[in-house]
Amino acid sequence: MSTIPALHPDTTGLVQHFEGLKLSAYRCPAGVWTIGYGHTKGVREGEVITAAVAERLLASDLAAAAADVAKLVTVPLTDAQRGALASFVFNLGAGAFKGSTLLRLLNQGDIEGAAGQFERWVYATVKGKKVKLPGLVTRRAAEEALFRGGDWRAAVPAGAAPAPIAQKVEAAPVPVPLVRSAPALAGTATLGLGTVAALLDALGPVGDVGAQAVGLAQQVAGTAAQVQAVAEQVATAQGQVAGAVAAVQAIGAGPSVSTLLLGGGLLVTLGLQVWERLRSSR
């Protein structure tokens, strides 16, 4: 059994600062029963502990977080990076960390990319609504500073009192663009790596989500190209029908029933082509 390296000395101070010491059980902003320095396991309403017990719980919780970091991270870490990640996992839990883009980038050796992911984990569901919490914003900035080897205290506004910390944290929501036309769909169907990574965070580790997301993007891109091609045909047909109607009107007569039926039939035929292409591409 491998030995877990000792945490960076700043780790405990960072967690204590942001969690604060509460000797009576309370609900965090996300509704999780909490006590001591952010301890949540088995906490019951009305529970009261001493400061000494709170210190022991904190040491145990940080040791568990450090063990999770050691198990999930496959690249070498500095003491500061390990300490920042222990604080991160202490707050989020190992499950969220395991499925995060931060861990994925870190294990790929992208230290800078991983550092930039801390700031995404600043949301919690409060009274049924996903909101950004100032306490989480500051904590993530402090953890990122420590991860980069700096002083986490520099990320804390001078004189600012610690804001409440949620014990059930979520990543930033993934923006979904509203597609208004076939050309717009074709232009946005090719997803960048950053967008795919964010989608994976939102979906969670359910099966081979990565392959599914990439496959879906490819299908959307192909379908969008087909829709655009048929839409151009429809536009051409509409122009032809309009030209025929204008010609009839120019000689002093309204469009005949046969002309209208012919134009309508052409548009219906092209519409059926659009539907058939969409169905066959699924």
Q: Could you give the residue numbers annotated as active site?
A: 19, 28
DSSP code per residue over 234-269? HHHHHHHHHHHHHHHHHTT-PPPHHHHHHHHHHHHH
CB count, 10 Å around CB of 250?
A: 8
Q: 68 pairs with which residues across the strands?
A: none
Contact 210, 260 (CB under 8 A): no
d(CA 65, CA 73): 12
Q: Report phi then psi at 70, rounded to 5.
A: -65, -35
Given phi > 0 = left and psi -120 to 50 = alpha, else beta, which region is 204? left
Residues in CB range of 92: below 8 A, 6 or more apart: 100, 121, 169
Give the HSE-up count for residue 72: Cα atoms under 13 Å, Cβ half-sphere. 24
